[in-house]
Amino acid sequence: MVDYHAANNQSSAGGQQTYMEQENDWDRDLLLDPAWEKQQRKTFTAWCNSHLRKAGTQIENIEEDFRDGLKLMLLLEVISGERLPKPERGKMRVHKINNVNKALDFIASKGVKLVSIGAEEIVDGNSKMTLGMIWTIILRFAIQDISVEETSAKEGLLLWCQRKTAPYKNVNVQNFHISWKDGLAFNALIHRHRPELIDYDKLRKDDPVTNLNNAFEVAEKYLDIPKMLDAEDIVGTLRPDEKAIMTYVSCFYHAFSGAQKAETAANRICKVLAVNQENEHLMEDYEKLASDLLEWIRRTIPWLENKTPEKTMALMQEKLEEFRDYRRCHKPPKVQEKCQLEINFNTLQTKLRLSNRPAFMPSEGRMVSDINGAWYTLEGAEKGYEEWLLNEIRRLERLDHLAEKFRQKAAIHESWTNGKEALLTEDFMTASLSEIKALLRKHEAFESDLAAHQDRVEQIAAIAQELNELEYFDSPTVNARCQKICDLWDVLGSLTQSRRESLERTERLLESIDLLYLEYAKRAAPFNNWMEGAMEDLQDMFIVHNIEEIQHLISAHEQFKSTLADADRERGAIEGIQSEARKIAENNGIQLTQTNPYTTITQQSIDTKWNKVQELVPQRDKALQAELSKQMSNDHLRRQFATEANVVGPWIQNKMGEIGRISIEMNGTLEDQLAHLRQYEQSIIDYKPRIEKLEVDHQLIQEALIFDNVYTSFTMEHIRVGWEQLLTTIARTINEIENQILTRDAKGISQEQLHEYRTSFNHFDKDHSGALQAEEFKACLISLGYDVENDKQKRSGQMVSDDFRALLISTGNSLGDAEFARIMGIVDPNNSGAVTFQAFIDFMSRETTDTDTADQVIASFKILAGDKNFITADELRRELPPDQAEYCIARMAPYQGPDGIPGALDYMSFSTALYGESDL
């Protein structure tokens, strides 16, 4: 006995179905309602006889007459039009089993997997097994090929019934059991196609037996459909048997199918033309949007690459404000345009793929990759331009500070050197000995002072050098002044050396000068230098960027103030030296000269400078406190921005994660998901004022020349990029759902199928990336029962929905390498190694549904043309809606064949062009 049970052992493990999975329900139904078995026996017997009579025979008892396998093999030959192996004519049990096995083998060769049905059960007259086998034959040879609007099998037959009975009152076909009990649906089907046979208006809903018998008798008498049901059984059963009803109704479908050819042909053509018109419009829109966006990028990049520096801070601030205006106003709409362009492109390609059209190839230079490349260049130029602007502003700020510092130190030094050259060249040859000694001491003090000023000269030269290195615009003026100072300094150094040598040569002729004057001079000089340094420091320009730096300056200033008491005591001590000298002179009657011979630093000049220091200290206090207030204000701006950014940044990151989760969840129908996503998108758009508020805070920070923020890791650039990615991601996610709806509607995929596809896809998408790697995708296909051995029948375009699921039950847990390579070439043409969900459902829909082709459209036109090789404008206007008829007339070429007539149109070349290369 042939074992047909193996497949049943795999069906639950792999989530697979077989062609005879219906048998599981079959057994349970019979246990619940024996009346169903009676209905099935009568219906199936009549159906078998409707075919066996063509061979001049029939059956009386469906269990008994098929036991030897002879009439079973004959039935299969009649309905398939094929020859089976020669039967065995012996009467023994083994001969009967062999004949039944030949029949079962033939059924299996048609892609049907029989579960729990063996030849022995049929030979033994097992009623349930025999009825199950006949139902399998009916389903395969009478129902499977029924297709209405790309649905098939049970759904296609039900849709056909609903459409044909829609105009009739009291008829509402929702199933193949209760909807047929009152008999009106049967009568409506007959009346719709043969109104002369039925007086439908005389039928009453409350007389189901009369209605049913009327339909059965008319069908048998005029339509050659044998009576397969009993009116009393249908009315007397709470729920008539669905399989019996489907079998009987399928006979009506086949009886009336010829009348539908013209209608079907016209519908197919209308659908194909509508798709082409819409696709052409989408292509034109894409080209225009792509051209406009690329032109904007082409104009913008040179502006961003123009990094001509300005000489002043004000002019650079104008450039920065112009850049901010570009980021706030000009770029965001272009971000949306780019996103919309990608969405339009994906939608168009999906529609072309679903309608069996070649992929859209934009004109040269307008590919999505071209736009992404141009956009990448734009953002690179944009980033470089902003960095250049900020660096240039920092450089100019630094230059302004250094230039002012140079001018201040140069002025102080020039003031000090004024007259020093004349002093060093005074003639002392006629001076007295005491005057010579005084001049020598004075010169020593001067050298000490000169050495103290060496640092300032070096500082001035260093500042000038730094200004040169930073390319200060007024460097020539700075260099000239610095050179003048250095030249004079060299002259003073040379004169100082010469004067010292001259004085030392005459030193042995001079007596020592008054020690008190000398002590005064020695102590006054450094003290005087200290005061000058203090005044210079108190007036020194400073630039800080945060609270810590200004607090450091304040601390240093406080430390300086703490030394004033010691300095005041030193000033008193110096004054005491001078007082002591006058006291000694007075006591000894010495006539003092008017000035200290050792120094030009008078007590008056010390007191004046000391008072100046005292005056500058509170001014410095005020300046430092003002800067502290400014830095505190800057710190407030930093905190204000950071507080908002630390909310907005994680919010954007969280929303990105939520969108990723939403895109793989399966809550409700696609329309429910789309509505939810659009509400979600609106909530994101409603968040935009927070982003705009952050932009305002960021502008305040930039205007305050704040370049760092320790309170947040989120920069405005991060926020902008995140926000743009968020808007783009939600828009793309919505577009993915819309494309899934397009795929579902175009291919007749049910919500349950999409749910099953999504469940399996998510199961293997372990990292929630939204894409499957090759091995994950292969496991996903196996889980759906994809069988490489059934490849030829899978792609025949004859089955979808539950029937396709039944057909794809795998006989093993492996997918052939060649078949898998073919599939990967379809779902991953770019060899990225990953399969998106959209590519996955596109593949499943393409593999499991029939798509229109040029040959099908030609066949449809041929029907409308009355089997001619050409068609006329009048025929097109008669058979098609006005707009689509005119669309064809305008585009069809004149027919050139020898059988043509005036005005004949070539529908063949037109149909072929519909599936050719795009002109755009």
Amino acid identity, position 440: L
Q: Can you give the pLDDT at residue 177?
A: 92
Q: Can you give the pLDDT at residue 219?
A: 92
> What does DSSP assign to residue 59?
-
Amino acid identity, position 140: R
138/388 Cα distance (integer angstroms): 78
Q: 603 is written with which tokens?
A: 């007590």
Q: Which pLDDT band, with edges at 50, 70 and 90, does 457 fall under?
A: confident
**What is Dmax (Cα atoms) for the chain?**
170
Q: Report CA Rg, the chain.
A: 50
Find the mean pLDDT for residues 862-886: 86
- 245 phi and psi angles, rounded to 5 deg: -65, -45
Instruction: Look at residue 16 and tell me whether its pLDDT is greater than 70.
Output: no
Q: Quick one: 740 exposed, middle or buried, by C-beta within 10 A (0-12, 13-18, 19+)?
A: buried
Give CA separation, 192 vs 186, 200, 252, 877, in Å.
10, 10, 11, 25
Quick one: which H or E segment has residue 87?
A: none
Find the mean pLDDT for residues 518-542: 86
- 835 phi and psi angles, rounded to 5 deg: -120, 120
Pairing of strands 893-894, 905-906: antiparallel
Q: What is the 3-state secondary structure (H, E, C) of 881-902?
A: CHHHHHHHHHHCEECCCCCCCC
pLDDT in tens, 295-304: 999 999 999 8
Contact 238, 34 (CB under 8 A): no
Instruction: Look at residue 511 and tell me whether its pLDDT is greater than 60.
Output: no
Q: Can you give the pLDDT at residue 888?
A: 92
Of 160, 161, 114, give the one whose Cα is nearest residue 137: 114
Q: Can you give the pLDDT at residue 25?
A: 40
Instruction: Look at residue 31 and tell me whether its pLDDT is greater than 50.
Output: no
Where is mean pLDDT largest: 305-314, 575-584, 751-760, 815-824?
A: 305-314
495/114 Cα distance (integer angstroms): 121
pLDDT in tens, 668-683: 788 888 888 889 889 9
Find the mean pLDDT for residues 702-730: 88
Q: What is the 3-state secondary structure (H, E, C) of 437-497?
A: HHHHHHHHHHHHHHHHHHHHHHHHHHHHHHHHHCCCCCHHHHHHHHHHHHHHHHHHHHHHH
pLDDT in tens, 37-83: 888 888 899 899 988 988 899 999 988 898 999 989 999 998 888 89
Contact 663, 769 (CB under 8 A): no
Within 8 A by CB and 6+ apart from 19, the residues are: 111, 112, 113, 114, 136, 139, 140, 803, 806, 807, 809
915/288 Cα distance (integer angstroms): 23
Find the mean pLDDT for residues 387-413: 84
Q: Which pLDDT band, with edges at 50, 70 and 90, does 796 fall under?
A: very low
pLDDT in tens, 70-121: 989 999 998 888 899 999 888 898 988 999 999 899 988 887 777 778 889 8
CA end-to-end distance (rounded Å), the chain: 63
Q: Can you give the pLDDT at residue 208?
A: 94
226/600 Cα distance (integer angstroms): 140
Contact 914, 272 (CB under 8 A): yes
Q: List the single range of 284-293, 648-657, 658-667 with lowest mean pLDDT.
A: 658-667
- 15 phi and psi angles, rounded to 5 deg: 65, 25
Per the listing, tokens 């009649």 go with 78
SS3 content of the chain, % helix, strand, coil (to 5): 70, 0, 25
Q: Quick one: 724 exposed, middle or buried, by C-beta within 10 A (0-12, 13-18, 19+)?
A: middle
Q: List the single range of 262-266, 634-638, 650-654, 691-695 with lowest mean pLDDT.
A: 262-266
Contact 186, 210 (CB under 8 A): no
Quick one: which H or E segment has residue 152?
A: strand 151-152
3-state SS class at 906: strand
Instruction: Look at residue 651 and tell me whether its pLDDT is greater than 90.
Output: yes
pLDDT in tens, 412-424: 888 888 887 888 7
Find the mean pLDDT for residues 156-174: 88
Q: Can you give the pLDDT at residue 852?
A: 67
pLDDT in tens, 182-223: 999 999 999 988 889 999 999 999 999 999 999 999 999 988
Find the mean pLDDT for residues 560-568: 90
Q: Which pLDDT band, with edges at 50, 70 and 90, does 853 fall under?
A: confident
Per the listing, tokens 């002591």 go with 580
Within 8 A by CB and 6+ apart from 525, the residues are: 445, 448, 449, 452, 599, 601
Instruction: Please indicate whether residue 115 or residue 543 has the higher confidence score (pLDDT).
Output: 543
Q: What is the DSSP string of 762-810?
A: HHH-TT--SEEEHHHHHHHHHHTT--GGGHHHHTTS---HHHHHHHT--
Instruction: Please indicate whether residue 346 or residue 454 has the higher confidence score (pLDDT).
Output: 346
Within 8 A by CB and 6+ apart from 686, the residues are: none
651/467 Cα distance (integer angstroms): 46
Residue 494 neighbours by CB distance under 10 Å: 11
Q: Can you give the pLDDT at residue 648?
A: 92
> What does DSSP assign to residue 180?
G
Find the mean pLDDT for residues 706-731: 89
Q: Can you give the pLDDT at residue 5?
A: 31
Contact 290, 281 (CB under 8 A): no
Q: List the single range of 185-199, 379-393, 748-762, 888-902 with lowest mean pLDDT.
A: 748-762
Find the mean pLDDT for residues 863-875: 88
pLDDT in tens, 313-348: 788 888 888 888 888 898 899 899 889 888 988 988
Find the mean pLDDT for residues 809-834: 68
Contact 323, 695 (CB under 8 A): no
Residue 99 neighbours by CB distance under 10 Å: 28
Contact 74, 57 (CB under 8 A): yes
Within 8 A by CB and 6+ apart from 620, the residues are: 538, 557
Find the mean pLDDT for residues 487-516: 69
Find the mean pLDDT for residues 626-654: 91
Of 177, 192, 198, give the one whose Cα is nearest residue 248: 177
Angle 619-403-322 from CA coordinates, rounded to 5°: 100
Q: Can you give the pLDDT at residue 669?
A: 82
Instruction: Look at residue 20 and tell me whether its pLDDT is greater than 70.
Output: no
Q: Which pLDDT band, with edges at 50, 70 and 90, does 32 fall under?
A: very low
Q: Can you give the pLDDT at residue 1?
A: 31
> What does DSSP assign to residue 118?
-
Q: 764 is written with which tokens?
A: 């293997």
3-state SS class at 614: helix
Q: Can you give the pLDDT at residue 211?
A: 93
Q: How far is CA 650 from the centre of its chain?
A: 18
3-state SS class at 871: strand
Q: Can you give the pLDDT at residue 587?
A: 72
227/218 Cα distance (integer angstroms): 10
Per the listing, tokens 């002590």 go with 519
Contact 800, 152 (CB under 8 A): yes
416/393 Cα distance (integer angstroms): 35
pLDDT, mean over the chain: 81
Contact 230, 42 (CB under 8 A): yes
Q: 302 is written with which tokens?
A: 């040179």
26/23 Cα distance (integer angstroms): 5
Of 601, 514, 610, 597, give the one whose Cα is nearest residue 569: 610
Q: Can you give the pLDDT at residue 509?
A: 39
